[in-house]
Amino acid sequence: MQIEKRVDDVKAQVKAWRNEGLSVGLVPTMGYLHEGHKSLIDRAVQENDRVVVSIFVNPIQFGPTEDLASYPRDLKADALLCENAGAALVFAPEDGEMYAPDFSTFVDMSGVSDELCGKSRPIHFRGVCTVVNKLFNIVTPDRAYFGEKDAQQLAVIRRMVRDLNMNVTIVGCPIVRESDGLAKSSRNTYLSPEERKAALVLSQAIFAGKALVAAGETDGDRILDSMKAMISAEPLARIDYVEMVKWDTIEVHHKVDCPVLVAMAVFIGKTRLIDNFIWE
Ligand code: PAF
């Protein structure tokens, strides 16, 4: 497996693969890879001749008070996971390779990016769309793989690809959880043992909300209220949002009468975690 740091080297390799008639899959990540990322790579390896994994902690998607500086990094371990999973190339650029000092072009969006995380993290999706657009231009993948844990991000990327007529198929992959239910996340490493236990309240509320819907409850407020009550009972948890939205447009919605996303962001101590379920 190759590890490349330069855009031109990635482009040259992809061009060589294209000349051989090979298909290319892309798994964009910020590194510190876990089983969730591995499930994306596994799927990409099944569906493409060559798989590129990008590992880049994208500075422009972090707000000024967020965890850019402390975001966990371990390129050596990440490269090993990618190699074992069958990736052909890891693209791990430095910040300067992706953003020239006078970089000034951004991909902006409204609507799908406005609610949920877009409300709490106002510049986040502009940064995500911009870097993903750049990665698509560098790798020109046939397919790109994103986790449903970042469900709004998946909806945002799908909308960007549709609106800008981008020539890539977006593949969403299910959330991967720890055996006790906690959704896998690179940010779980921030949790103290006590916080790790408290963090279970997210998945417990998700499972409870989903069980209510499965039992026939369609009233969004009743579903959200019971989920919020569970979370509020955990002293270390502070709700950022617990919302129901239409799955395709991410508009706030209060009835299970169409495909919906029920999503939450909850602080456990200082760590902001997200989780969700999609009801189609
Ligand atoms: O989901 C992530 O890890 C990031 O938001 C992404 C898509 C790699 C863009 O930086």
Catalytic residue annotation = 37
What is the model's pLDDT at position 54? 99
Query: Torsion-angle region of residue 199: left (phi > 0), alpha (psi -120 to 50) or beta?
Result: alpha
Cα–ligand 1 centroid distance for 58 (angstroms): 8
The model scores a pTM over 0.95: yes
Q: Do 9 and 100 touch, CB atoms closer than 8 A?
A: no
Kindly report, residue by residue over 232-261, the tens digit of the pLDDT.
Answer: 999 999 999 999 999 999 999 999 999 999
Q: Which two tokens stand for residue 253?
A: 């919605």
Closest CA to ligand 1's atom 6: 29
Q: Give CA–CA dist 233/106, Å, rounded.
A: 41
Kindly report, residue by residue over 111-135, the tens digit of the pLDDT.
Answer: 999 999 999 999 999 999 999 999 9
Q: Residues lining ligand 1, CB < 6 A?
A: 28-30, 58, 61, 128, 131-132, 150, 153
Cα–ligand 1 centroid distance for 78 (angstroms): 15
Closest CA to ligand 1's atom 3: 29
Kindly report, residue by residue over 87-101, the tens digit of the pLDDT.
Answer: 999 999 999 999 999
Among 26, 27, 56, 58, say which to mutate for ligand 1: greatest number of ligand atoms within 8 Å of CB.
58
Q: Do 210 and 235 touch, CB atoms closer than 8 A?
A: no
Q: Which two tokens stand for residue 138?
A: 């560098």
What is the model's pLDDT at position 159? 98
